[in-house]
């Protein structure tokens, strides 16, 4: 179908430019809290909560809206919207009025845009052929984290380059993403896209259509949830993803910058290096997956094993080892995380029909980000109350416990669809 024309190379280019910008955000935003404003771990947890919380409110409607719209054009507009909060942040930095309240507002707006971007972008990946879905997902994850790694390196030059220059680069990358995503999924003339001018003249019809759309939205949201309620393996995938958000994502967002500042007395440069090391692990793992000619026969089992591995690695980080041990541990942690990301998304795309993928992706992302804001806040609060090493240890033990329980779930026995 013409309306479904999809150019994977342009899509990969969009993944690269947008995630370079996201890499800058990942380092700059928390470092403005703990490194520039020098605020407490609990304030960092609250700041990360502000970014992630909008996903709980908007990611499900975002999935429904994406299924109704032409994704290339919709995403093009959304990428431009990112520039609005970044421009406000740059203006505050120029005028010397950067405050924690402003950072919280920035985080909420940034997170709201992301809630609509994620399901729409994820659903585009569904146009890849089913038999090579694992390769397509792996390539996307590789490009995503290579680009993020470049963003981390650039953000690590904060003291040299300056915040304003980095924010300008971030806006330029989102503008370029807006152009590329439209080229990846061009909107061609089709009868279904045409609007009858007579419909615009009737307010009664307009109100009726609005009511019908609201009813359809609720029905479509229920349909998205029912996909997971009727498939026990998918349901347990969501439970594992929720645990990943609360435990792994929470400690990654809050624990990592505090690890750099408090355990190793480093600055933005050290935090960026830790992020790059983690990202290299993700890239290497997905390079290996992309070279696999055949899909994994037991993707759920491998995902659980990778979660188990992360629990052991967090326990190693809790010991606060020397750098020559810390960096390999962070690298392998990234590799297990990258493997888990690819496996989870592969399972999702192969188990869900294309017509429901935006909704399914939004439910998947909702579970990830439902756990993440609570995990980020809890991690920051725990570090402030009991200490960095103790918090890492507790999270490691909980991760290992969840992994053992997951071996008894249907996800452990899930086989790849032929």
Residue 199 lies in a domain: no
- DSSP states of 318-380 as a string? HT---HHHHHHHHHHHHHHHHHHHHHHHHHHHHHS-GGGHHHHHHHHHHHHHHHHHHHHHHHH
Residue 194 lies in a domain: no
For 36, the 3-state DSSP assignment is helix
Residue 156 lies in a domain: yes
- At 3 the pLDDT is 43
Report the distance separating Cα 181 and Cα 291, nearest Å. Answer: 26
Report residues of the chain scoring pLDDT below 50: 1-3, 189-207
Residue 191 lies in a domain: no
Report the distance separating Cα 229 and Cα 213, nearest Å. Answer: 24
Report the distance separating Cα 409 and Cα 407, nearest Å. Answer: 6
Say which CATH number the domain at 272 has.
1.20.1250.20
pTM: 0.75
The angle at the Cα of 38, spanning 380 to 158, to the nearest 5 degrees, equals: 105
Residue 106 lies in a domain: yes
Q: What is the dihedral of CA 15, 18, 21, 26, to 10 degrees?
A: -60
Residue 208 lies in a domain: no
Number of structural domains in the chain:
1
3-state secondary structure 370-391: HHHHHHHHHHHHHHHHHCHHHH
**pLDDT (tens digit, 9 = 90+) per residue, 109-151?**
999 999 888 878 877 776 655 555 667 777 887 888 889 989 9
Report the distance separating Cα 73 and Cα 185, nearest Å. Answer: 8
- At 43 the pLDDT is 92
Q: How many beta carbons lie within 10 A of that of residue 113, not counting itself?
A: 21
Residue 229 lies in a domain: yes
- At 212 the pLDDT is 58
Length of the chain: 418
Residue 205 lies in a domain: no
Range of the domain at 256: 2-184+225-413
- At 223 the pLDDT is 66
Rounded to 5 degrees, what are φ and ψ at 98?
Answer: -75, 120
């Amino acid at each position: 179908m013409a309306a479904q024309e999809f150019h994977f190379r342009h899509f990969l280019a969009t993944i690269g430019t947008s995630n370079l910008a996201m890499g800058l955000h990942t380092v700059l935003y928390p470092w403005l809290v703990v490194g520039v404003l020098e605020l407490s771990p609990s304030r960092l947890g609250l700041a990360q909560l502000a970014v992630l919380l909008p996903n709980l409110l908007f990611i499900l409607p975002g999935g429904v809206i994406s299924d109704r719209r032409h994704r290339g054009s919709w995403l093009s507009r959304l990428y431009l919207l990112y520039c609005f909060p970044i421009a406000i942040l740059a203006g505050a930095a120029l005028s010397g009025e950067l405050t924690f309240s402003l950072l919280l507002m920035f985080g909420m707006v940034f997170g709201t845009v992301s809630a609509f971007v994620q399901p729409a972008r994820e659903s585009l990946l569904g146009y890849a052929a089913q038999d090579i879905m694992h390769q397509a997902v792996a390539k996307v994850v590789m490009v995503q984290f290579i680009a993020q790694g470049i963003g981390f390196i650039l953000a690590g030059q904060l003291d040299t380059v300056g915040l304003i220059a980095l924010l300008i680069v971030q806006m330029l990358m989102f503008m370029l993403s807006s152009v590329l995503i439209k080229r990846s999924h061009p909107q061609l003339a089709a009868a279904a896209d045409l609007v009858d001018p007579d419909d615009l003249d009737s307010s009664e019809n307009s109100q009726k259509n609005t009511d019908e759309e609201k009813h359809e939205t609720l029905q479509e949201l229920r349909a998205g949830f029912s996909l997971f309620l009727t498939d026990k393996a998918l349901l347990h995938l969501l439970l594992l993803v929720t645990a990943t958000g609360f435990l792994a994502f929470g400690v990654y967002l809050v624990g990592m910058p505090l690890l750099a500042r408090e355990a190793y007395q480093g600055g933005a440069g050290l935090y960026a290096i830790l992020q790059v090391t983690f990202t290299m692990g993700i890239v290497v793992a997905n390079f290996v997956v992309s070279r696999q000619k055949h899909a994994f026969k037991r993707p759920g089992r491998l995902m659980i094993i990778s979660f188990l591995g992360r629990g052991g690695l967090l326990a190693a980080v809790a010991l606060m080892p020397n750098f020559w041990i810390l960096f390999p541990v962070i690298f392998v942690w990234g590799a297990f995380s990258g493997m888990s990301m690819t496996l989870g998304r592969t399972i999702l795309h192969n188990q869900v029909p294309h017509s429901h993928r935006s909704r399914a992706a939004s439910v998947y992302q909702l579970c990830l980000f439902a756990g993440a804001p609570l995990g980020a806040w809890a991690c920051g609060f725990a570090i402030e109350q009991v200490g960095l090493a103790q918090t890492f240890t507790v999270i490691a033990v909980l991760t290992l416990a969840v992994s053992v329980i997951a071996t008894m779930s249907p996800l452990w026995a899930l086989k790849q669809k032929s």
